[in-house]
Amino acid sequence: MFHKILLFSFAIFTLMNCQSQKLTKESGAKKSTKNQVKDVLQENLIYLNEGQTNFLKEQQMNVTFKGIISDSRCPTGVNCIWAGAAKVSVEVMTTTSRPMLIELSSLDLTSRNFVKTQNFAGYNITLEKVLPYPNQTNNTATLKGQYQIALKIEKGNVDHNNTENPITTQ
């Protein structure tokens, strides 16, 4: 009789422990999702994967990441003479306009036709991030279809007088 009670108690304790672990994992997943949303809201960035479209209610605008045009950024772990730049194609359209294709770059360098910010319908659209960053094993060809961009969209006009000349990397 004592063995039955001991075995039954052990079984109940084990089942309660499994439920406890499940709740901990679920609450951890919720926390990480909340942190990601919080980061996006704090940075005021819109993340898009290649081919993804997002409708922005506040701006009444559709934004589509059409794809990467070029990615000449210096891979991590490699010494380069020039830092390089990533150039992307983004389609924007308001509820009252036709679609427009704009090209954005990871840096401003007008001499090479690299523009980081474009104005559309009274909003500055700025390319803030292009992910993933190339490395020695993953080049532009292997990353095709895996790119993600972060855009910042805010009211205002673009000032193209600010040009940088990135000669060296990190």
- Tens-place pLDDT, residues 123-166: 999 999 999 988 888 766 778 888 999 999 999 876 655 444 44
The mean per-residue pLDDT over the stretch 32-38 comes to 43
Res 148: pLDDT: 96
* Same domain as 101, residue 80: yes
* Same domain as 81, residue 65: yes
Domain that holds residue 70: 45-155
Query: Is residue 46 a contact partner of residue 151, using CB atoms and an 8 Å limit?
Result: yes
Q: How many domains does the chain have?
A: 2
Res 83: pLDDT: 86
In a domain, 34, yes or no: yes
In a domain, 106, yes or no: yes
In 3D space, the residue among 31, 47, 33, 143 whose CA is nearest the CA of residue 86 turns out to be 143
* Same domain as 111, residue 62: yes
In a domain, 167, yes or no: no
Res 142: pLDDT: 74
Q: How far apart are CA 105 and CA 151, in angstroms?
A: 11
In a domain, 60, yes or no: yes
* Same domain as 52, residue 6: no
Res 68: pLDDT: 94
Cross-strand bridge partners of residue 65: 90
* Same domain as 29, residue 60: no
In a domain, 169, yes or no: no
Q: How many CA atoms lie within 13 A of 148 on its CB side?
A: 8
Q: What radius of gyration do the chain's Cα atoms show? A: 24
Helix (H) or strand (E) holding 63: strand 61-71
Write down the residue that tokens 């994967």 correspond to.
49
Q: What is the pTM of this model?
A: 0.67
Query: Is residue 118 a contact partner of residue 112, using CB atoms and an 8 Å limit?
Result: no
* Same domain as 117, residue 53: yes
* Same domain as 15, residue 78: no
- The 10s digit of each residue's pLDDT in 72-128 is 998 888 888 988 999 999 999 999 999 999 999 999 998 888 999 999 999 999 999
